[in-house]
Chains A and B, each alone.
Chain A
Amino acid sequence: ETGVTQSPTHLIKTRGQQVTLRCSSQSGHNTVSWYQQALGQGPQFIFQYYREEENGRGNFPPRFSGLQFPNYSSELNVNALELDDSALYLCASSWASGTVRNEQFFGPGTRLTVL
């Protein structure tokens, strides 16, 4: 186990609704990244938070937003849900210092189904 936890495990929403997913990073880590993984595909980078600031963003619309808290835990919010948002949402935590990159450890994910 990585020490990265996510909640909830599963979630069912309907189109147009809003959802908040949560992630607790591994102890000692200061960076959280969020990924979307569609069925049968590799994870796709949504955005990353470093010391409570967004530190990079992938090709996702503004209705995907996030937060990082002082204890380095994080939330992913998705507004106006669409059917294509159905996926496994993964959170990964890591320790970053300057430009040094280190391994990212993933949580178990939240399975979101949009009906």
Chain B
Amino acid sequence: GESVGLHLPTLSVQEGDNSIINCAYSNSASDYFIWYKQESGKGPQFIIDIRSNMDKRQGQRVTVLLNKTVKHLSLQIAATQPGDSAVYFCAESSRGQAGTALIFGKGTTLSVSS
């Protein structure tokens, strides 16, 4: 699989590889995090979320890792498929922030070739 240590705007992988998308968040008070997938012309689609009392959460083919020490979030996609091609955003929110506003990071465009 291919992974990146720092945020990159694009990630290209082969079908079947594992993908890792990274995100750095800015607010140390953030305690709720969500990953979204956005396909062209559509709204963001919820993938998985994690609260700050956890450091790992797994879903179907996806895993989110949270490292609060370095304020880093990652999304791992197992056995990446062409249908996974999209822009991926991480989002954070914190108590005391305006309502339950989500602050979005810079997106990563994942391209999967078969």
Contacts and interface: CB of A to CB of B under 8 A. Distances in A.
By secondary structure, the B interface counts as loop
A6 B99 CA distance: 22
A56 B94 CA distance: 12
B61 interface: no
Contact of A107 (B43, B100, B105): B43
Interface string B81-114: 0000000010101010111111111110000000
Interface in A39-71: 41-45, 47-48, 50, 55-58
A92 B91 CA distance: 13
Contacts of A2: 43, 45-46
Interface in A72-115: 90, 92, 94, 96, 99, 101, 103-109
Given A90-B43, A105-B46, A45 B34 contact: no
A71 to B, nearest CB: 20
Interface string A24-50: 000000010101000001111101101
A56 B32 CA distance: 17
A95 to B, nearest CB: 10
A27 to B, nearest CB: 16
Contact of A42 (B32, B99, B104): B104
Contacts of B91: 42
A58 B106 CA distance: 18
B44 A106 contact: yes
Nearest to B96: A99
A57 B101 CA distance: 8
A44 B36 CA distance: 14
A43 B100 contact: no
A67 B97 CA distance: 20
Given A4-B43, A45-B103, A58-B98, 6 more contacts: A2-B43, A43-B89, A43-B102, A48-B99, A90-B43, A96-B100
- Which 7 A-B pairs give the minimum distances between C-beta atoms? A56-B99, A56-B98, A42-B104, A106-B43, A48-B99, A55-B99, A45-B101
